[in-house]
Chains A and B, each alone.
Chain A
Amino acid sequence: MHKNKKTCFLALVVGILFMITGCWDNRDVTKLNFITALGLDKTPEGSIELTVELPRPSLMGKGQVGGGGQESKEKPITIVSAQGETVLAAARNLLEKLEKPVILSKHELLLVSEELAKSGLMEVLDFFERKPESNMTSQVLIVKGSPIKKIMETESEQEKIPSIHIANCITTNQNRLGSSKESRIIDLLREISNSGQDPLIPTIEISQEKEELKVKDMLISGTAAFRGDRLAGYLTATQTRGWLLAENKAKGSVFTVANPLVKDQKVSFETYRTIGKKEVELIDGQPRLIVQLKVSGSIGESQGGLDLTQPDQLALLQAEIEKTIKEEVESTISTVQEYQTDIFGFGEIMRRKYRSEWQKMKDDWPELFSKASYQIEVETRINRSGYIRQGTKSE
């Protein structure tokens, strides 16, 4: 009995030894390719083209190679693309060109071409929803006017990996300038499936054609409005800012208004905190969209001299600022009404406020939304004007 137990135990140990040598799911980090950005495009034949940005770790740390201060001409990233009928098929076809399989959990950026945006985003987003370990917090951008490969081949002078530079640009832009907004894959999915809200995705385009494109030649400004998952139209930078204001997402920006006292001179108003409230009211069964903004900030720069200690000058300036902001938001609302896209989520507000009416209205909401009347109220507060009350006058 004892001998039997010993042999059994030895057999078990040997068996386990065999099992430890190879793991089914062993994924060696050195044998994987980490992707930092993805680009999706549609070919004329109708298949999906997937482009990936691969960082090259060996070139990450070095800016100069060789003696004599010669800079390394090699790029820190590589761009590879492949085609397939679906995103997953394209991803597998990539392996024809790569020596190591790819891992998707660390990408920061997803670039989608205009064509794909026009034919419907869900064609490609299903892959991201379904795949375990895909990064749901990566930023999505719509590429305007150029092929995706060109945008992805740009270099960055500030970061080794250009896609990180671009992703950071978007965040900084939303917080400081207001001409772009963050849009993560998961937010996109939620907005697409919601009948009362349409997605708004930032855009990127080349502003200066050059031989060797850098990120600074790109324009990461303006957004694309979608109806469901299809592209409906574009919003300019100021219209995007109007959206951010209404959505209570504008953290800080600069509004340049005409100096009310001196012709052709401008005053820059720098905002720190804006509060935006949206409401919908049903008047005689028709929706009325209400946006209320409370903007507070200080004068950052003034051309033409303005003495704000005079209350009437202050009031004039305030009125000018309020007019400018109101026009911005009006422009945004009327444009999206034309596109029939409810990017503000007024439908969502309806859904919570007028529950039974919404059930009847939700199928026709794009049309009802486009015909709805709107009302924008702006309240401005000028807190300070920097160190000086009045600028130096030339005598």
Chain B
Amino acid sequence: MIRDTRISGYQLSLLMMSFIFGSSAIVAPAATAGQDAWLAFILGWLGGLLLMWLYVTIYLDNPSRTLIEILRICFGKYLGSVLALLYIAYFLHLASFVFRDYGEYLTLTTYTLTPIAFTIGCFALLVAYCLKKGLEVTGRAAEILIPYLFIVAIIVFLTLIPEYELKNLTPILENGFAPVADSSLRVLTFPFGETVIFLMIFPALYSARKVERIAFLSVSIMGFTLLSITVREVLSLGPDLLIRLVFPPSISTELTPKIQFDPLIAVNLLLGGWIKITVCLYAAVVGITQLLGLDDYRHFVLPAAILAVGLSLWTFNNIFELMHISQKLYYYYVIPFQVIIPVFILVITKLKKVFKAK
């Protein structure tokens, strides 16, 4: 079943772009750098392009193979399986993170009285349904819905123009380079480094060569979109307010007189979050299926979804823990998955080729 999944190039690019968008527009990963957020974002974006090159190269060396299979080829059956298991756990944890972000935003702004478990649970049901139907169906649904994401981003950007004050970007590097470096590391790991998950999705594209072009195009386009969103936040809110806000777009969208764009941002989050969680859970269940040597992943969809929901409720007691971990500890945790192991894979694959040539 996994072998038969086919999505078009356009669908893959939409999946990648909305995955990268994910919950970044709400969380604004570069916000901790204040007025230099744009600089931190660009640095993280460049790093993200580099990581994308790494992942694409790994894929091109092992065409039509998912990450799990690549791990087993590189590291052997036993170590590879252990690493595969770790990656599956990482994907599930990622899904639970996005669930929690999504739930917290909705509970804070709109659904104050609704238990967060219910909000997340409803969303999880939707994602589980999508997965049961398959990646192709999700891809087609994305074709219809994801363009809306860009339209909203453009609308909000344009309507806030009267609020922009260019002096909010200066003075540049007022607090030195350290906060920028910290922030750019955060941008690199969230959301760009998470594209490692697409090593599970790339095999669904018929032509392996096209993957390279689609991957770079997606990272570039979405990077530019997120940069414009970051700049929009800095210009309209100013550095001081930006750093203190939990979810920056919630106040910047309140600034348009008479009209409130808050619901549009929530819909954007819904679209981005939906694709991100679907991709994460898809990667997780496909990984489990391949690890166990089975063929049909649909058995594992509901258990994985329930597990992700449970994790999202259990890992953090309140929003402060969520923010603290995502700002201070998250990037250390994910660097092995996003950077270290893929670098090893690349090195080992290249060495193997060299040995084979001899």
Interface residues of A (CB under 8 A from B): 23-25, 105, 132-137, 186, 189-190, 193-194, 348, 351-352, 355
Contacts and interface: CB of A to CB of B under 8 A. Distances in A.
Contact of A355 (B110, B174, B254): B174
Given A23-B114, A25-B114, 16 more contacts: A24-B114, A24-B115, A25-B113, A105-B260, A132-B108, A136-B255, A186-B241, A186-B255, A189-B241, A190-B240, A190-B241, A193-B240, A193-B241, A351-B171, A355-B171, A355-B174
A352 B167 CA distance: 9
* A interface, over-half SS: loop
Contact of A137 (B109, B111, B114, B255): B255
Contacts of A352: 167, 170-171
A194 B262 CA distance: 27
A24 B112 CA distance: 8
B250 interface: yes
Contacts of A134: 254
Contacts of B238: 190
A124 to B, nearest CB: 18
B343 interface: no
A355 B170 CA distance: 11
Give me the 9 closest cross-chain CB pairs, A-B, nearest first. A24-B114, A24-B113, A25-B111, A193-B240, A132-B109, A136-B254, A352-B171, A25-B113, A352-B170
A220 B298 CA distance: 69
A377 to B, nearest CB: 23
Contacts of B167: 348, 352
A134 B262 CA distance: 12
A25 B108 CA distance: 12
A233 B110 CA distance: 41
Most chain B CB neighbours (cut-off 10 Å) among A132, A193, A352: A132
A184 to B, nearest CB: 9
B254 A135 contact: yes
Contacts, number: 47
A24 B118 CA distance: 10
Interface residues on B, range: 20 to 34
A186 B256 CA distance: 12
A25 B114 CA distance: 6
A23 B171 CA distance: 48
Nearest to B251: A136
B76 interface: no
Contacts of A132: 108-110, 112, 250
Interface of B: 108-115, 118, 167, 170-171, 174, 238, 240-241, 250-251, 254-255, 257, 260, 262
Contacts of B262: 133
B171 A137 contact: no
Contacts of B115: 24
24 contacts: A24-B114, A24-B115, A24-B118, A25-B110, A25-B111, A25-B114, A132-B109, A132-B110, A133-B109, A133-B254, A133-B260, A133-B262, A134-B254, A136-B251, A136-B254, A189-B241, A190-B238, A190-B240, A190-B241, A194-B240, A348-B167, A351-B171, A351-B174, A355-B174
Most chain A CB neighbours (cut-off 10 Å) among B109, B111, B254: B254
Contacts of A23: 114
Most chain B CB neighbours (cut-off 10 Å) among A135, A136, A186, A351: A186
Contacts of A355: 171, 174
A137 B257 contact: yes
Nearest to B258: A137
Nearest to A358: B171
Contacts of B114: 23-25
Contacts of B108: 132
B13 to A, nearest CB: 35
Nearest to B107: A25
A329 B236 CA distance: 30
A194 B35 CA distance: 14
Nearest to B173: A355
Contacts of B257: 137
Nearest to B256: A137
Contacts of B113: 24-25
Nearest to A138: B257
A189 B112 CA distance: 25
B213 to A, nearest CB: 42
B351 to A, nearest CB: 50
Nearest to B115: A24
Contacts of B250: 132
B305 to A, nearest CB: 16
Contacts of A189: 241
A136 B171 CA distance: 26
Contacts of A348: 167
B152 to A, nearest CB: 19
Nearest to B245: A129
A253 to B, nearest CB: 23
A240 B240 CA distance: 27
A252 B238 CA distance: 29
Contacts of A135: 254
Contacts of B109: 132-133
Nearest to B238: A190
B232 to A, nearest CB: 15
A24 B111 contact: yes
Contacts of A24: 111, 113-115, 118
A105 B111 CA distance: 16
A351 B174 CA distance: 9
